[in-house]
């Protein structure tokens, strides 16, 4: 179990880091002409990815129901993202006309939408797998 948890952490870290660098690159390209991704943002993205990967270990808990894993994961991940944004100064990056509070709220809303979409997809996959296993179990019981 410990080995699987460590593997789960590193897989999560790689996925989160890759996605965050891609998203940062796209945002920088759209907002700034000829923009290059600053090395500081890459390091900050790695830190955020590691923290989020740690938070995502809540989904490995066998003691919590899926809904509680989702709620706790959402709260901790949202808090981690917004805290990193504040600590790393992301909400004032690029001199946008939005004030800091507006950018924090926007960040919260965007993350919430992505989380909800991801949660719905995972929930649907889980339901489909559950139904498939139940069907196989019924089929097995009918044969024996």
What is the pTM assigned to this prediction? Answer: 0.74
**pLDDT attached to residue 99:** 73
CA dihedral angle for residue 101, residue 50, residue 11, residue 63, rounded to 10 degrees: -80
pLDDT, tens digit (0-9, with 9 covering 90-100), for 1-56: 688 888 888 888 888 888 888 888 888 888 777 778 888 989 999 999 999 999 98
Domain definitions of the chain by residue range: 2-143
- Residue 91 has what DSSP assignment? G
| Percent of the chain clearing pLDDT 70 (strictly above) | 95
Q: How far apart are CA 144 and CA 140, in angstroms?
A: 6
Count of CB atoms situated within 10 Å of the CB of 45: 21
Mean pLDDT of the chain: 86
Minimum mean pLDDT among 26-30, 59-63, 139-143: which range?
A: 26-30
What's phi and psi for 89, nearest 5 deg? 75, 30
Give the residue with greater pLDDT, 25 vs 68: 68
pLDDT digits (tens, 9 = 90+) for 79-106: 999 999 889 988 875 555 557 778 888 8
CB 11 within 8 A of CB 52: no
Helix pair 2-31, 39-55: axis angle to 10 deg: 140
Q: Which helix (H) or strand (E) holds 66?
A: helix 66-87
């Amino acid at each position: 179990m410990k080995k699987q948890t460590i593997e789960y952490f590193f897989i999560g870290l790689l996925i989160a880091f890759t996605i965050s660098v891609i998203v940062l690159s796209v945002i920088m390209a759209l907002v700034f002409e000829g923009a290059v991704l600053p090395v500081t943002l890459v390091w900050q993205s790695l830190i955020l990815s590691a923290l989020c990967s740690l938070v995502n270990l809540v989904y490995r808990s066998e003691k919590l129901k899926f809904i509680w894993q989702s709620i706790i994961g959402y709260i901790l991940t949202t808090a981690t993202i917004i805290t990193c944004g504040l600590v790393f100064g992301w909400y004032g990056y690029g001199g946008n006309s939005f004030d800091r509070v507006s950018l924090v709220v926007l960040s919260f809303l965007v993350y919430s939408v992505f989380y909800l979409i991801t949660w719905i997809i995972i929930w649907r996959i889980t339901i489909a797998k559950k139904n498939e296993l139940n069907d196989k179990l019924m089929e097995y019981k009918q044969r024996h």
